[in-house]
Amino acid sequence: MWDSLYRFSTGRLAWFLMFLTTLGLELTALFFQHIMLLEPCVMCIYERVALFGIMGAALLGLCNPKQPAIRWSALVLWIYSAWQGLLLAWEHNQLQVNPSPFQTCDFMVRFPSWLPLNKWMPGIFEAYGDCAQDQWHWLGLTMPGWLIVVFAAYLIVAIVIALGMAIGKEKRSMWR
């Protein structure tokens, strides 16, 4: 099993599939924002950035998955982004489940001055909504609830792939 995971992680298909899933989730977020007119809040935007981090990891891994330094760098970015996304989604969920006037999110997104994403691409990174407002449900979960599931799944898969990369071995053929 570990050898199979190792081989899977060294192929472009694995990284391309991860890229496609993140692209699908980002397009879904934009659909909710621009077509269904759900206003994204500050936490939504930060969760979106974490998902873009996973997408960046997929693109990095897609560049040259056979190169261990690139593969491990992509994996570290993947785990970090999934973990941060999970923490953000959990905090966002708590704001909706246990609303309090003393526990709120920021009024506007705060990006570094050298990377003002909300100024460069306001249609994607500008927040207008209230974090405590529950705007959408599906199968009993809110948007942050589903993001907890999504980021936890990305994190679990990343840990399993990391174990495969650490434990598994590359199969050598006498023909190579």
Domain boundaries, the chain: 2-167
Place 176 in a pLDDT band, splitting at 50, 70 and 90: very low
- Tell whether the model's pLDDT for residue 173 goes beyond 50: no
Q: What are phi and psi of 102, to 5 degrees?
A: -95, -10
Query: Of 7, 12, 48, 176, which residue is the catalytic one?
Result: 48
Per-residue pLDDT tens digits for 76-96: 999 999 999 999 999 988 888
Query: Of 7, 63, 71, 131, which residue is the catalytic one?
Result: 131
Query: Of 7, 41, 63, 176, which residue is the catalytic one?
Result: 41
**Matching residue, tokens 């785990």:** 79
Query: Of 63, 105, 110, 176, which residue is the catalytic one?
Result: 105
Mean of per-residue pLDDT scores for the chain:
84
What is the C-alpha to C-alpha distance for residues 44 and 2, in angstroms, rounded to an integer? 36
Retrieve residue 2's tokens: 């570990």
- Secondary structure of residue 141 in the 3-state scheme: strand
- Residue 137 pairs in a beta bridge with 142
2-167: in CATH 1.20.1550.10: yes
- Tell whether the model's pLDDT for residue 6 goes beyond 70: no
Place 3 in a pLDDT band, splitting at 50, 70 and 90: low
Residue 63 designated active-site: no
Residue 44 designated active-site: yes
